[in-house]
A and B are shown apart, each in its own frame.
Chain A
Amino acid sequence: MPTNLVINGEDRISTRGSMTPLIDVLRDEFFLTGAKVACREGICGACTVHLDGRPVVSCLVPLATVEGRDVRTVESLAAAGEPSPLQQIMEEHDVVQCGMCFPGILMVLTSFFQERPHAERDDIKAALVGNICRCTGYERLVDAAAALARRS
């Protein structure tokens, strides 16, 4: 049975099987390759997207459970062609190394800052415990996020 979902504001229909992980639908069917797939077990956070506004690891979301729901991927952050303030500050601080972890980190921090715009450094670190950066670029990443919190 096809699954109807709204991805980055657009109605989409997926024909994949009901237990297909959402990450595979996003990447292989709709070519939204921003979200990465690494561990497939909820540990690394590289596949994080927003489902109805909340961050989830899309490797563990079966397609059929997304019927009629709102999915946002990292591609939606610069929808008007202009990077979001979070993306801009990450660029200013030259945070990205290989970039594998980065889309997930942006999605987690985007929703975190919606709730906690003035968060402290320790809270930012706690918010990121589910995002593993194999290049270990945590220091600049947290510096950049803390700078954004100070600015807002």
Chain B
Amino acid sequence: MPASTGERLYVATSLADAVAALADRGPAGAPLAGATWIMRAPIRREELRSSYVGIGGIAELRSVEMTDDEIHIGACVTHADLIAALAGVEGCDGLVAAAGGAANPAVRQMATVGGNLCTSDFPASDLSPALLCLDASVELRTPSGQERVPLGRLLDIRRTLEPGTLVTGVVIARKPVQTGHSRLPLRKAGDYPVAIVSMAVALGSDGLIEDIKVAVGSVEASARRWPQLEAQLLGHPLDPAKAYELAKAGVGVFAGRESVEAPGWYRVQVLPTLVRRAAQAALAARQQR
């Protein structure tokens, strides 16, 4: 539907329809998925945009597909649907814990994977660190074509995406990893976590770490990997106490963001404990099998 009809929210019926409607609206328009961020604009004292294209109901964007090599998650898969699809799947414990710990049950029925990754003003995304340490890629669709970029790249460029760009899905390569996700909210639910640590580890038959990814969320404006800690852990057994000590010595690489909920120094100070808990969760994920 052309933007000229004046409806502020046009609900697209297919991916092609959404791409065309977004192209038609140009910089004035934006996708609306679960709407849980956009609808809170008045609370944040922000203006709504003049035009949105609803994508949450598009069937092509709502499925989780698994092959032997890959897991493909549609951008409009909700947190609740993600949990249902990936519970018990090897390597996905951390991601399922991230989706299951975020927000509250009703919001998890609404908020989508794509919306969670694309909200550039939201530092406390749980899915971002969980997917970063799974080396996830993101599929982008623009009127001029489509491309796949690493999630870390999307987090860097999401503020300056060409108008009309849609994230259509997230792709994870299936690898024999154990994953853990650890977050520190100040209440049971409703508030955002002060800090988040996600971890994915591949252990060799000798019990030594062959590959490890650690990602930190909510401490800085965007989630990011912790390569220095990864390098120190590589080649050793996964010992949560040792990981805690190394994290404690190395947290200086993070500059915690200040906000009314928590001061920056506190976000950084809790990281070693979250590293230890994420390591414990990753070990427990391995032992279950």
Chain A residues with a Cβ under 8 A of chain B: 1, 17-19, 21, 40-45, 48, 51, 54-57, 59-62, 64-65, 67, 108, 112, 127, 129-130, 132
Contacts and interface: CB of A to CB of B under 8 A. Distances in A.
A61 B56 CA distance: 11
Contacts of B140: none
Nearest to B52: A19
Nearest to A63: B9
Interface residues on B, range: 20 to 34
B189 A62 contact: no
Of A42, A44, A108, A129, chain B has the most CB atoms within 10 Å of the CB of: A42
B222 to A, nearest CB: 22
A42 B36 contact: yes
Given A62-B35, A62-B52, 18 more contacts: A19-B9, A19-B52, A21-B39, A40-B43, A42-B36, A51-B109, A55-B105, A56-B106, A57-B110, A59-B39, A60-B35, A62-B54, A64-B7, A65-B32, A127-B105, A129-B188, A129-B189, A129-B190
Contacts of A67: 11
A17 B190 contact: no
Contacts of B54: 62, 64-65
Given A42-B104, A64-B54, A56 B39 contact: no
Contacts of A127: 105
Contacts of B57: 65
Interface of B: 5, 7-11, 32, 35-36, 39-40, 42-43, 48, 52, 54, 56-57, 80, 103-107, 109-110, 188-190
B7 A1 contact: yes
Contact of A18 (B8, B43, B80, B190): B8
Contacts of A57: 106-107, 110
A51 B35 CA distance: 14
B190 A65 contact: no
A130 B7 contact: no
Contacts of B35: 60-62, 65
Contacts of B80: 54
A1 B109 CA distance: 26
Nearest to B5: A1
Of B8, B104, B106, B109, chain A has the most CB atoms within 10 Å of the CB of: B106
Contact of A130 (B5, B9, B40, B104): B104
Nearest to A43: B190
Contacts of A43: 104, 190
A45 B48 CA distance: 23
A42 B109 CA distance: 12
